[in-house]
Amino acid sequence: MAGEIWVLVEQWRGRISDITYEVLALGREVAEALAGSLQAVVLGPGAGESIFSLGAADGALMVEHSALAEPVPEVYALALAQIIPQRQPQALLIPQTNVTMELGPLLAARLAVPFLNSCRDVQVTDGRPVARCILYGGKVEASVTPQSAPAVFGILPGVRPPEQGRVERAPAVRALSVDLPTEFPLRFRGYTELEAGDVDITRENVLVAVGRGIQRPENVALAEELAAALGGAVCGSRPVIDQRWLPPSRQVGTSGMIVKPQLYLALGISGAPEHAQGMKEAALIVAINTDPRAPIFDIAHYGVVGDLLEIVPAMTTRVKQGKQAA
Amino acid sequence: MLNILVLVKLVPDTVEELEIAPDGRSLDPASVRLILSERDEHALEQGLLLKERYGGTLTVIALDVPEVDDVLFTALAKGADRAVKITGMEPGPSTWTAAGLAARTLAAGPGLLPADLILTGVQAIDDLDGQAGPILARLLELPYVGITCRVEVDPGARSAVVVREYVGGVTGTFEVSLPVVLGVQSAEKPPRYVPVAKVRAAMKSQRLESVPASGESAVMRVEILQLMKPEATGRAVMLDGAPEEVAAQLCDVLAARGLL
């Protein structure tokens, strides 16, 4: 069945994730450039009513099995490894999030097919799909092409606007069956919600975010003071949470929270993709960083190359003075 | 007694300005300073915590690249029992090639397998065509759990309970039989600090083992056409001046948006 482009429908806790529509929009372009058909691949208990939102695809391939109830990458890989040889798609585009992160490599290893990580775009050149992959925390990009088909691509969030891929129309549904073992060496036991912190950063209008550039735990107080003066809260990127300088409830990024405040002040944050995905929709992004080439300056509205340890206290003083004067 | 293997790799330090080589498809080695991949540092810490909690031996394994000795001696100083470098391999851009080589060399290296737990960082900044953990797991035919943030082992039952991060702060708990390959996102504690004096002492009293890379390395199934610096899109308006002046300008920006 040559000529199919597949997009894996990411479902998270009963809902189709926005990134699915972003990847469908990309898949539509790739399918058209390759004169193929676009198929949405739905694993698990079925998409229910949401199937009607997958109209960007020509068809939906439904794989229903009780073992696919939760997104366990090992089990998903096993299922996909059974249906890919049946239909030989040219490409499988997988949304690359923490729900499915290891699925691509596991699948590529099972089938001995090419895998491309962290794609921020895929275009067709001379009849071949060519991906733009992000490397070195966003400091370098690679244009890469698979040497054979089918090929698996991990697509980063933000590849296209989700509304471009959300089309209300029922795609033609085809059910595929898989034969999965009842016993896996890996058993899913359940989800745990993050213990609520003192502050819900997704509800704050002003966030002062600290990253590795804050250098020492005692410097977090500088950010706290500025946040207090601005009437906001402090949050952080992964390295700061890993060091336990802030609790996990304050983490912004792919495995933490997605925030959309009126102001996001990024202090000493380089802006690696995992962090950017959690905050790039903020209304105003201001970044202070010592590295003039930090990727954060590509998504910030205003930037300062400088020492946050000097600038932040000066800002705090000014904000407080302004408030007193008012 | 657990046999714990921790696979680590060195990656370019992105604090340095990375330059692209004249061939347009690789990094200029002169611009690259290698450091231990951040997630691998967490994998090592998680391994050390497990060793301390349940007893056993921990072996840290890396491909032989410049600066690797420092990284391996540091791991020994932190509490690793053995440090092994896989020699005779040109480091290339492909995670598949490196992971494939490591998988075969583990099988051939003395006293490395069978292991109870094989830990590695969940991802590295140079993972172009995969992630080492899942590739290793498939090649060794072992189960894999990635993005882990907590691991508890039941040595008697030969099983582990592993907590994996999903999104929005939600975690999933898995029970998995040993042996297992884990892709560590973060260790249960921040990676420990080891004083330079202890690293020097390790250099004097301990030795690194070398195992030649064995077998053909796995094929790279992708072709790099070009490396490039990303074009600056929608670059920020940059503000200049002394800290006081910049602070004043930033406050003006916030005031203009009604944020003060």
Going by C-alpha positions, the residue among A210, A224, A306 that lies closest to residue B247 is A306
The pLDDT, as a whole number, for residue A44 is 86
Closest residue on chain B to A316 (Cα): B247
* Binary contact (B20, A140; C-beta < 8 A): yes
In a domain, B224, yes or no: no
Assess whether the previous peptide bond of A161 is cis (omega < 30° from 0): no
- Work out the number of other CB atoms within 10 angstroms of the CB of residue B161: 15
Residue A240 and residue A293 in one domain: yes
In a domain, B183, yes or no: yes
Range of the domain at B201: 2-212
The strands making up B144-154's β-sheet, listed across from edge to edge, are: A186-192, B171-177, B159-165, B144-154, B180-184, B117-121, B2-8, B56-63, B82-87, B209-212
Assess whether the previous peptide bond of A89 is cis (omega < 30° from 0): no
Of A72, A92, A94, A102, which to mutate for an interface test with B (greatest number of B Cβ within 10 Å)?
A: A102
The pLDDT, as a whole number, for residue B91 is 67
- Work out the number of other CB atoms within 10 angstroms of the CB of residue A284: 17
Tell me how many domains chain B contains. 1
Average of per-residue pLDDT across A315-326: 87
CATH number, domain of B203, equals: 3.40.50.620
Of B15, B34, B123, B125, which to mutate for an interface test with A (greatest number of A Cβ within 10 Å)?
A: B125
In a domain, A185, yes or no: no
Going by C-alpha positions, the residue among A95, A203, A103, A211 that lies closest to residue A159 is A95
Residue A159 and residue A43 in one domain: yes
In a domain, B169, yes or no: yes
Going by C-alpha positions, the residue among A107, A89, A82 that lies closest to residue A178 is A82
**Among A140, A186, A230, beta carbon nearest to B229:** A140
Angle at the Cα of B17 from the Cα atoms of B13 and B19, rounded to 5 degrees: 105
> pLDDT per residue over B39-81, tens digit each?
999 999 999 999 999 999 999 999 999 899 999 999 999 999 9
In a domain, A194, yes or no: no
Residue A119: pLDDT over 70 = yes
CA distance A50 to chain B (A): 21
In a domain, A214, yes or no: yes
From residue B222, give the alpha-carbon distance in Å to each of A23, A84, A147, B19, B93: 21, 19, 5, 22, 10
Residue A283 and residue A171 in one domain: no
In a domain, B229, yes or no: no
Which residues on A lie below 8 Å from B138 (Cβ)?
105-106, 109-110
- Residue found by looking up tokens 């992971």 in the block: B99
Check CB contact of A124 with chain B, cutoff 8 Å: no
SS3 call for B130? coil
Residue A1: pLDDT over 50 = no
SS3 call for B85? strand
In a domain, B196, yes or no: yes
CATH number, domain of A158, equals: 3.40.50.620
In a domain, A34, yes or no: yes
Residue A48: pLDDT over 80 = no
> pLDDT per residue over A181-194, tens digit each?
988 899 999 999 98
In a domain, B85, yes or no: yes
Query: How would you write the pLDDT of chain B (260 residues) with one tens digit per residue?
Result: 899 999 999 999 998 889 999 999 999 999 999 999 999 999 999 999 999 999 999 999 999 998 999 999 999 999 999 999 999 877 677 888 888 888 888 988 889 999 999 999 999 999 999 999 999 999 999 999 999 999 999 999 999 999 999 988 899 999 999 999 999 999 999 999 999 999 999 999 999 999 998 766 567 789 999 999 987 766 799 999 999 999 999 999 999 999 98
How big is chain B by its Cα radius of gyration, in Å?
21
Q: What angle in degrees, to the nearest 10, is found between the helix axes of A103-111 and B132-140?
A: 40
The pLDDT, as a whole number, for residue A252 is 96
Q: Which residues contact A289 (CB under 8 A, 6 or more apart)?
A: A213, A266, A268, A269, A270, A296, A297, A303, A304, A305, A308
In a domain, A253, yes or no: yes
Q: Whole-angstrom Cα distance, residue A115 to residue A63?
A: 22
The token duo for A26 is: 């990309």
Range of the domain at A235: 201-325
Check CB contact of A99 with chain B, cutoff 8 Å: yes
Which residues on B lie below 8 Å from A114 (Cβ)?
129, 221-222
Residue A131 and residue A208 in one domain: no
Contact criterion met (CB below 8 Å) for A226 and A319: yes
In a domain, B159, yes or no: yes
Distance of CA B11 to the CA centre of its chain: 8
**What number of helices (H) and strands (E) belong to chain A?**
9, 17
Q: What dihedral angle (degrees, nearest 10) is formed by the CA atoms of A141, A147, A152, A154?
A: 0
Residue A206 and residue A170 in one domain: no
Residue A214 and residue A158 in one domain: no
In a domain, B9, yes or no: yes
Residue A261: pLDDT over 70 = yes
Residue A115 and residue A150 in one domain: yes
Check CB contact of B161 with chain A, cutoff 8 Å: yes
In a domain, A184, yes or no: no
Q: Whole-angstrom Cα distance, residue A252 to residue B63?
A: 33
Tell me how many domains chain A contains. 2
In a domain, A109, yes or no: yes
CATH number, domain of A251, equals: 3.40.50.1220
Residue A227 and residue A301 in one domain: yes
Contact criterion met (CB below 8 Å) for A116 and A151: yes
Report the percentage of chain A scoring pLDDT > 70: 98
Q: Classify residue A129 by its DSSP letter.
A: E
Angle at the Cα of A104 from the Cα atoms of A10 and A47, rounded to 5 degrees: 20
In a domain, A270, yes or no: yes
Residue A125 and residue A223 in one domain: no
Q: Does ipTM surpass 0.85 in this model?
A: yes
Q: Are strands B117-121 and B34-36 parallel, antiparallel or unpaired?
A: unpaired
Q: Classify residue A326 by its DSSP letter.
A: -
**Among A12, A106, A130, beta carbon nearest to B225:** A130
The pLDDT, as a whole number, for residue A131 is 98
Check CB contact of B42 with chain A, cutoff 8 Å: yes
Residue A2: pLDDT over 60 = no
The pLDDT, as a whole number, for residue A47 is 64
**Among B221, B230, B259, beta carbon nearest to A263:** B259
